[in-house]
Amino acid sequence: MKNMLTYRSVFLVLVWSLLYSAGITKVNAQEGEKNSVRLKADYVKIMDSISYINVTAFARIDKETVDIPNIDLIFSNEFDGEEMELGKVTTNMHGEGKFILKNLNVLKPDSSSTYNIYVSFKGNDKFKRASKSLSFKDASIKANLVTKDSVNYISATLKDIATDSVLSDQLLNVQVQRLFRPLRIGEEFNSTDENGTILVPVEEGIPGVNGNLTFEVVLQDSDDYGTVKALVSAPIGTPIKDESTFDQRTMWSPRNKTPLFLLIFPNLLILGIWGIIVYLIINLFKISKSKI
């Protein structure tokens, strides 16, 4: 009996040692091989609204691109050899973060009126430290709707704010906001003229809720200015006729939206028939009480 206990104890100790050592090796392997983080940052400015920086953190692990969630990214403004911390963003489950610049005035540009943003990650147990620099100048788009000869046009002018000069030969996209992705209108490439302006006709019959359309004029991923977007709303669309029966009483509605006919008529029938059945059952009682 004693021998058996000894053998059993030795066997358990061996198994435990094997499993423990395997676990330790795995943990050490993880700690020993930190992965590199790659950062991607884009500047977006929406006229008369906010500006922000979209940042994405990812890594190549086992030849696959993996999003890195829950890491803190620090945003700083670099100017004249100085660095001013702006704030911090934690990436979401897709490795994305959005740093909102409420006001560009808080940033200081360098001598060429360029804003330099430095995004850094300090590193952690699994990933090495990483950083990314982003530079952009401030540009503006002034967009409005004009009507000439009963044809509606979107007119937009692109300007460099620092120099207050118009920007020619820049490609602007004109599009209408839709539910899933915007609908491009006009020609494929709308290049600004010497006045920094484009004029894009708006075709008729574009549907919109109550006829309202929201146009976007976009300078997309410019090397100098990032993405700049101006929005114009105008009631020039064809009103969408709501053909949904969502809130109506139909055969395919939920039970609280049963058609009234189906509520009244069958229930009257049911009540009528069951009323007679109850009457007949009462008659059975009457029979049992009417011996004589």
User: Interface with other proteins by CB under 8 A: which residues?
Assistant: 250-255, 258-259, 262-263, 266-267, 269-270, 273-274, 276-277, 279-281, 283-284, 286-292
Q: Smallest gap, in angstroms, from Cβ of residue 102 to other proteins?
A: 50
**Closer to other proteins by Cβ: residue 114 or 258:** 258
Q: Smallest gap, in angstroms, from Cβ of residue 72 to other proteins?
A: 48
Backbone φ, ψ for residue 240 (5° rounding): -75, 125
Q: What is the number of other CB atoms lying within 10 angstroms of the CB of residue 275?
A: 10
Please tell me the distance from the alpha carbon of residue 113 to that of residue 48, in angstroms, as a whole number. Answer: 20
The two structure tokens encoding residue 205? 């019959």
Q: Give the distance from CA 162 to its chain's centroid.
A: 31
Q: Smallest gap, in angstroms, from Cβ of residue 255 to other proteins?
A: 4
**Closer to other proteins by Cβ: residue 197 or 258:** 258
Please tell me the distance from the alpha carbon of residue 191 to that of residue 196, in angstroms, as a whole number. Answer: 9
Q: What is the number of other CB atoms lying within 10 angstroms of the CB of residue 29?
A: 9
Looking at the DSSP bridge assignments, the partners of residue 218 are 173, 229
Q: Smallest gap, in angstroms, from Cβ of residue 221 to other proteins?
A: 41
**Closer to other proteins by Cβ: residue 66 or 273:** 273
Looking at the DSSP bridge assignments, the partners of residue 277 are none
Q: Smallest gap, in angstroms, from Cβ of residue 233 to other proteins?
A: 41
What does each C-alpha distance from 216 to 161, 223, 264 come to in angstroms? 20, 20, 52
**Closer to other proteins by Cβ: residue 87 or 275:** 275
Q: Smallest gap, in angstroms, from Cβ of residue 244 to other proteins?
A: 18
Please tell me the distance from the alpha carbon of residue 149 to that of residue 38, in angstroms, as a whole number. Answer: 53
**Closer to other proteins by Cβ: residue 102 or 255:** 255
Of 124, 128, 154, whose CA–CA distance to 141 is shortest?
154
**Closer to other proteins by Cβ: residue 22 or 269:** 269
